[in-house]
Structure 1
């Protein structure tokens, strides 16, 4: 079943509204099947991009209504979903302005994904509530036998690796400096999350990268941001905000119909206690490209206590065993183990808590290395039938190989 009620600009209406629509659509479909004599015993949920967050909300509603007492939840998977929101892990005036502006481009959904909303009477962002250990959403998610996620490690201009992969570090930020390790049978695409990267011989590092100091590279990374504020803001802000205003008005109209039950859904049944395009597309593409070039900031010395205790900053890796040693059952030579340490991203307190709670419920995480396209967000699910997206076939094959029917 492919849900249809959040198509097009309806994604502007927020995760809560989208989740209620999906929950209602699922219940309607189950009722239709029951009336034709088809009893459903198992259910699996797959969410792509924002659909992963909407799915998590819908799962909480279905759990609270007792659906999982009658139907067994089996697989839950997300592809390129911004579990931690899309707020850039950057500090300073430019970054704060960028996040503030971005939050207003996508109406209600934008405010929620940039974590500036206040959800109902909780005093917290919706995504924070969605990941709360005592919420119906986490309890519903915990009912699934398998939980997994797939996250692009590079060139996803819509959803960065750290948020799709629920990670407070990014071992893939400088791929030229490391060797990427892949899962057997899915080489060059599906990364081994246990040992994602290995040490690269300094002699093999590109001379160009070594010739620049850290400060120089940081300056060059900021050039697109500076250009954005000097050029795009004076010229493009009017168009961008005008489009945002139009979409916000339309979204509010749809939300009024939704709240009054005139959109075909009795929302009272879902308001249960939570705790226990063309012009638009051009603007969004421009924003995504800028966001992708911003780079990332990290926690400073003495701030590590803010980080999630469920994740480590250090990745260990080992050399491969000698293939000539036919008696070797493992490919790891423990004596040659080396460790790489990566700094903690400058996330918000809410984001660190989300990481902790989502890690505690448990996810199998699969980093994805797609190289044949400049924007990997669509390629991870091979959204279009073209040769440059063929690496998405490997992702789909891995997912199907681990899908329990």
Structure 2
């Protein structure tokens, strides 16, 4: 890693790389190498964030963002003391690291650090901008959304949107995307916003959240035709026209349809029959231990005993304007086996349910609202909805659900997720949809997280980012 990081005194551009959940700095080795292969140490200085390694990622987006902010400030001071002068800043986040990076950027903005820098690139690889709450129906939804949110300590609560951030009354993910927050104002400073999202086989963060999308056109690849970006075929789709409806085919026979339905359920059945009995006890025990350790670290951090001047970060206002609106593998295997639910037009029935049961629009909307809270009571559900504003937003999404590009139905997301999409889209993202074919763990492959056979398609993604997207 050392051969790719750092830089010389002549470098005026700092690029910060932030790893994801359960990660460590070595996960960003390939990204650092791709960048260094393109830009010499005299041009770009590379910093790989280190303070959130391993189970420290359980401690939450806020604490993780404060650690990264401090690390960036310390590196800038180190470069200055060595005779260097950084004029430009780029930030790259992978998976959870994309959210941690956004929090750190907000702090840097509030503390005036960005005033002294030209903000160039913000890039996210498979980052769950909308969290990891699964828009589902049925008991599997409850199992994943409720248990998943409670096995990853504070990070889990924030990723599933069941937390209440400070005195805002809203999930941290909603605050991160609030147009009046320091986080969106800081993010808007960057000249280029780029994301790379896996279209299938991402067992940690599915397409709708990494692609900041209300729809998932890749839910059934047999119904669409994908279009590749010229020169980057078979991996990166053309952002101007990534997909189009496939030519109609004869409907399958009743037997074939039944077999295909059961085939889609095989991953979930396998997880329940094999993975859970063998691994769930160890997973939950470890989760309990790590949650306890994380809680202790957070308490020490809050008291200023973790080596970070927490009050320096907490004194900054979260808002640009004075607004206070009331507002490990077991997990991945369960997530990858889910089928998504959709909003439907008023008076119509949802024909997308794989078990053949029809769900009315009102039921799906209620599901979208209730599941955001992990199955909590009515009072907390009202917080998630944002009251009348949340209901109005859902009504608007239902009205537009059959008007999406390509006719793809709108997913049954929570109101705060629809609001986040609306706010984030104002940044004019350059979105690249990625199809990793060779392995069934595309979340790791997209960033070439390790030297593994089959991850070579990820190198193409990294080369595209370094050569075509990275502004210097």
1:69 Cα deviation (Å)? Answer: 1.0
Q: TM-score, normalised by structure 1?
A: 0.85
Aligned position for 2:193? 147
Match of 1:298 among 342, 362, 383: 342
2:446 corresponds to 1:402? no
Indicate if the aligned counterparts of 1:191 and 1:367 stay in contact, CA closer than 8 A.
yes
Q: CA RMSD in A?
A: 2.5
1:132 and 2:169 correspond: no
SS in 2 for 1:307: helix
CA contact (8 A) 1:221 1:294 kept: no
Q: For residue 299 of structure 2, what is the aligned residue in structure 1?
A: 256
1:304-335 Cα deviation digits (max 9, x unpaired): 635399999543xxxxxxxxxxxxxxxxxxxx
* Aligned residue number for residue 10 of structure 2: none
Counterpart of 2:152? Answer: 106
Number of aligned positions between the proteins: 371
**Gap change, CA 1:248 and 1:125, over 3 Å in 2:** same
Distance 1:226 1:187, change over 3 A: closer
Q: Distance in 2 between matches of 1:374 and 1:225?
A: 15
Q: Which runs of 5+ in 2 are unaligned?
A: 1-46, 321-327, 347-360, 362-393
Task: Give the distance between the partners of 2:172 and 2:310, measured in 1 at CA.
Answer: 18
3-state SS of paired residue (1:97): helix
Q: 2:58 touches 2:152 (CA, 8 Å); kept in 1?
A: yes
Q: Is the 8 A contact 1:138 1:361 kept in 2?
A: no
In structure 1, C-alpha distance between the alignment counterparts of 2:193 and 2:140, rounded to whole Å = 37
Give the CA deviation at 1:187. 1.0
Inter-partner Cα distance in structure 1 for 2:185 and 2:397:
23
Q: 1:348 and 2:348 equivalent? A: no
| Deviations 1:141-193 (CA, angstroms, capped at 9, x unpaired) | 00000001000001010110111000010111111222110111111111112
- Which of residues 279, 286, 295 is equivalent to 1:243? 286
Deviation, 1:360, is 1.5
Structure 2 length normalisation: TM-score? 0.74
Please list the CA deviations of residues 65-114 of structure 1 after superposition, one character each: whole Å capped at 9, or x if unmatched. 11111111100000000110001111233312320000011111001001
Kept in 2, the 8 Å contact 1:308–1:356? The answer is no
C-alpha distance 233-17 of structure 1, shift in aligned 2 (>3 A):
same
Kindly state the Cα deviation for residue 33 of structure 1 after the two structures are TM-superposed: 0.9
CA contact (8 A) 1:310 1:359 kept: no
Correspondence 1:5-404 to 2 at 5 A: 5-203=51-249, 212-213=256-257, 217=260, 221-222=264-265, 225=268, 237-271=280-314, 272-276=316-320, 284-302=328-346, 305-307=395-397, 314-315=404-405, 340-400=406-466, 401-404=468-471
1:328 matched residue in structure 2: none
